[in-house]
Amino acid sequence: MFPYLRLGPFLLQLPLLALFIGLWVGLIFVERESARLNLNKEKINNLVFYGLIGGIVSARLAYAAQYASIYISNPFSLLSLNTNTFLPGAGLVFGTLIAIGYGYRQRLPLRNTLDALAPGLAFFMIMIGVSHLLSGNAYGAPTQVPWAVYLWSDYRQPTQLYEIFLGLVIFTVIFARVIPAPAPGLRFVQLVALTATARLFIEGFRGDSAILYDGYRTAQVASLIILIVCLYLFRTWEERSEHEPNLR
């Protein structure tokens, strides 16, 4: 793993750089898809910006709340660029709510807006895998398979490589529109369903999974629930193929 690159007196965090590249390139794909769907690119960019900023701030504050004494004694730690001091779940929830609120006010069409975001999100998921590879996070369970990688004092499943490979496959499917999407919004549903399926597979090889009661992995249970929701949305949105007027 290669978490840092020293440039003279500066220490560049490569996992964070990978995420910035993912965001930058992802926005290019979002803009292209927005133009193809005849959406207002400025409003879509603002939706992404407000959701992203709200998500980052929420993820950091949620993490700081867990270790309040540390951050009270050193409040400037809130400005740290350390990618390990965030709660991604909290950031995802609050960032999504902020984006939905902005889209509601701007009367952006829900399902077309989701489709516009799909290719950018798909590319960003690849770069999340690259970030994990550089940092050593999301590491695999100990194994003796020939393609194991040596990490954290043991030979482990290369789950970060699985994540990158499956991310590339999902991005190709979404970007090239390999699977037909007969109604607005279904391209985004495809992305979510494929990502949940990939997570369901990869989680079985992870060595740092959160475990629920009786040994069930939290991420796998969540992925199954998401897949069920996606199947429901695919059926109902296909039956109502007319466009949603707005986020109401």
Asked if 124 and 22 count as a contact pair (C-beta separation under 8 A), the reply is yes
What is the per-residue pLDDT for 79? 82
What is the average per-residue pLDDT within 228-232? 95
What is the per-residue pLDDT for 231? 94
Is 102 within a domain?
A: yes
Is 78 within a domain?
A: yes
Residue 248 has pLDDT above 50, yes or no: no
C-alpha 106, offset from chain centre: 24
Residue 247 has pLDDT above 50, yes or no: no
Is 104 within a domain?
A: yes
Asked if 46 and 101 count as a contact pair (C-beta separation under 8 A), the reply is no
pLDDT, tens only, 4-27: 777 777 778 899 899 999 999 999
Is 76 within a domain?
A: yes
Structure token pair of residue 210 = 């959160």
Q: Of all residues in the chain, what percent carry a pLDDT higher than 90?
A: 71
DSSP sequence for 133-183:
HHHT-SPBPB---TT-EEETTEEE--HHHHHHHHHHHHHHHHHTT-S---S
List of residues 6+ apart from 186 with CB closer than 8 A: 111, 115, 233, 234, 237, 238
Is 45 within a domain?
A: yes
Tell me the C-alpha distance between 62 and 68, whole Å: 10
Is 101 within a domain?
A: yes
**pTM for this predicted structure:** 0.89
What is the average per-residue pLDDT within 105-129? 96
Is 30 within a domain?
A: no
Q: What's the chain's average pLDDT?
A: 90
Q: Which domain holds residue 69?
A: 40-108
Domain count, the chain: 1
Is 126 within a domain?
A: no
